Amino acid sequence: QVQLVQSGAEVKKPGSSVRVSCKASADTFNNYPISWVRQAPGQGLEWMGGIIPMFGTTNYVQKFQGRVTITADKSTNTVYMDLTSLRSDDTAVYYCARDGSLTESFFDYWGQGTLVTVSS
Amino acid sequence: EIVLTQSPGTLSLSPGERATLSCKARQSVSSSYLAWYQQKPGQAPRLLIYDTSSRATGIPDRFSGSGSGTDFTLTISRLEPEDFAVYYCQQYDNSPWTFGQGTKVEIK
């Protein structure tokens, strides 16, 4: 059974950092890339980047370069997304999602989402 | 990056009617690497279609996808009450992967 279970909601101050976790089932962690997609309130979907957990290979959207880091912990089958220098427009629901394969980045399974609120 | 434009923004239809949603890319999606998702309020998106026309696991056959190059279409042959939602297209031909802005299908 494919599972992606995310950490809970966060409230952060502007300028601070947030870490969101995504615990994957073993088969997913070992065989598929995992991406992060965010959705601001009332807005559409935005891909931020992804990782191939077994290799640690990452790919980021240029817009987030320098602010986002995606890592994977093989001992717990968990992928992390760290976002630094938070601004109010980073307020969004953050989803982890499984890529369809190593070569096809549609997203066939999604975590439940983590709301990150950035407010002073 | 490949910009995707969906139309219409909102589609007002009745149950049983046919829905036709458009997704146009500013440049060619050359490998037909286009997907469609459904999202309901408070829920994560659900994959409907990948590779332009392949239905994801468990998706009813009233959902179909077509197109090539820059023009893609999602068709819902007969709307069921549970189909009223927001639909997004996504290209994964050229990184960064991008989404359209969404089409809301609402009950008329």
Return the pLDDT at B74: 98
The chain A residue lying nearest B86, using CA atoms, is A44
Q: A10 and chain B: CB distance < 8 Å anywhere? A: no
Put simply, the answer to whether B90 touches A111 (Cβ < 8 Å) is no
Could you give the C-alpha distances from A39 to A95, B43, B64, B73, in angstroms and in order?
Answer: 8, 11, 25, 23
- Give the whole-angstrom CA distance, residue B68 versus residue B88: 17
Question: Which is it for the CA torsion B92, B36, B2, A112, positive or negative?
Answer: negative
- What mean pLDDT is predicted for residues A91-106? 95
pLDDT at A73 over 90: yes
Phi, psi angle pair for B65, to nearest 5°: -125, 150
Kindly tell me the burial class for residue A66, based on how many C-beta atoms sit within 10 Å of its own C-beta (0-12, 13-18, 19 or more). Answer: exposed
CA of B35 vs chain A CAs: smallest distance (Å):
6
CA of A103 vs chain B CAs: smallest distance (Å):
9
Could you give the C-alpha distances from B84 to A21, A61, A97, B14, in angstroms and in order?
Answer: 31, 31, 23, 10
Query: What is the DSSP track for A63-115?
Result: GGTTTEEEEEETTTTEEEEEE-S--GGG-EEEEEEEESSSS---EEEE---EE
Q: A40 and chain B: CB distance < 8 Å anywhere? A: no
Query: What is the DSSP track for A2-70?
Result: --EEE---EEE-TT--EEEEEEE-HHHHHHS-EEEEEE-TT---EEEEEEETTTTEEEE-GGGTTTEEE
- Give the whole-angstrom CA distance, residue A102 versus residue B92: 12
Return the pLDDT at B95: 92
Task: Find chain A residues with C-beta within 8 A of B51's C-beta.
Answer: 104, 106
Return the pLDDT at B14: 97
Picking from B97, B99, B104 by the largest number of A CB atoms within 10 A of its own CB, the best residue to mutate is B97
Q: Tens digits of per-residue pLDDT, B44-97?
A: 999 999 999 999 999 999 999 999 999 999 999 999 999 999 999 999 999 999
> Which pLDDT band holds residue A10 (cuts at 50, 70, 90)?
very high
Return the pLDDT at A65: 80
Average pLDDT, chain B: 97
Average pLDDT, chain A: 96
Amino acid at A30: N
pLDDT at A94 over 90: yes
Characterize A89-98 residue by residue with b for buried, 16 or more Cβ atoms within 10 angstroms of its Cβ, and e for exposed: ebbbbbbbbb
- Give the whole-angstrom CA distance, residue B96 versus residue A27: 26
Q: Tens digits of per-residue pLDDT, A24-61?
A: 999 999 999 999 999 999 999 999 999 999 999 999 99
The chain B residue lying nearest A35, using CA atoms, is B97
Is B62 in a helix, a strand, or coil? coil
pLDDT at B31 over 90: no
